[in-house]
Amino acid sequence: MLAEQRARAILDQLTQRQTVSVTDLCQATGASEATIRRDLNALARQGKLVKIHGGATTLEEVEFLAQEPDLATKQRYTREKERIARYAASLVREDDVVFLDTGTTALHMAEYLKDSKALFVTSSIDFAGMLSAFERNVYVLGGALKPSTVDIMGAEALDALRHYNFTKAFLGTSGVSVSQGFTTPDPEAAALKFLAASRAQSVYVLADSSKFGRVTAATILPLDRAQVITDKPPDRKYLESTDVIAV
């Protein structure tokens, strides 16, 4: 089968099934895995599909957010965020060293951690205040204070973060997309989240269902670098790219 014929066959398979594996495409075209992977790379460069781990999916319809959501928007989906936070907190064990990110969903975790004996490191002043009120073992990163969110970030925060190793990291996100991964409007926040994830054995992203199909300015991580905790199962194409825990 010629390259153009394989390309048409691949796109036909995607039209029928939305998500296909390399193995499926090998069977449909009679081509080798190496050939199919080259075809998928070429079609992805042409903007005709999205490559995912082990296959491809159809192009996403995404909403691009240029600015950070305002406080009223962040405070939506309160019940969903509380469910996500409760489950996330249940994953924390007494011998854990935990990075707790900023964000409204992560902040809900504090009330469920008031009896935890784990060691916590955070860039959130609000989070640190709540945990210290419960007399928990908490460290706050040093660095520049972001006035709009009362969070710590910048070069000093990154330097401080490099001194820690985590068993678990819980990150917030503004968007979840197959093609762009986990995103946030602030490049400095993205750098901090990325570094925290790179120093953790297990990484969880807390994302209510409104975050799926959104893209913001800075990518934090590709989807396959973290597990997602959300309030309801997303479209199948996300399940092909990462582990999703719906609570």
Helix ranges (H only) for 121-221 are 125-133, 155-161, 187-198
In Å, what is the CA distance from 242 to each residue of 16, 38, 41, 99, 170? 22, 22, 20, 21, 16
**Numbered ranges of CATH 3.40.50.1360 in the chain:** 64-246
Gap between the Cα atoms of 194 and 191, Å rounded:
5
> pLDDT of the chain along its 247 residues, tens only?
788 999 999 999 988 887 888 999 999 999 999 999 999 999 988 988 888 888 888 877 677 876 666 555 666 778 999 999 999 999 999 999 999 999 889 899 998 999 999 999 999 999 999 999 999 999 999 999 988 788 999 999 999 999 999 999 999 999 999 889 999 999 999 999 999 999 999 999 999 999 999 999 999 999 999 999 999 999 888 888 899 999 9
Q: What is the average pLDDT score of the chain?
A: 91
State residue 74's pLDDT score: 60
Pick among 3.40.50.1360, 3.40.980.10, 1.10.1200.10, 3.40.50.2300: CATH of 64-246? 3.40.50.1360
What are the pLDDT digits (tens) for 129-180?
Answer: 999 999 999 999 999 998 878 899 999 999 999 999 999 999 999 999 988 9
Q: What is the CA radius of gyration of the chain?
A: 20
State residue 54's pLDDT score: 85
Please state, for a pLDDT cut of 90, what percent of the chain lies above it. Answer: 71
Helix ranges (H only) for the chain are 3-17, 22-29, 33-45, 71-74, 78-90, 104-108, 125-133, 155-161, 187-198, 236-239
Q: pTM value?
A: 0.82
State residue 66's pLDDT score: 67
Please state, for a pLDDT cut of 70, what percent of the chain lies above it. Answer: 96
Residue keyed to tokens 């269902």: 209
Q: Cβ distance 178 to 215 under 8 Å? A: no
**Numbered ranges of CATH 1.10.10.10 in the chain:** 3-59
Domain 3-59 has CATH 1.10.10.10: yes
Spatial strand order in the sheet of 175-177:
175-177, 181-184, 218-221
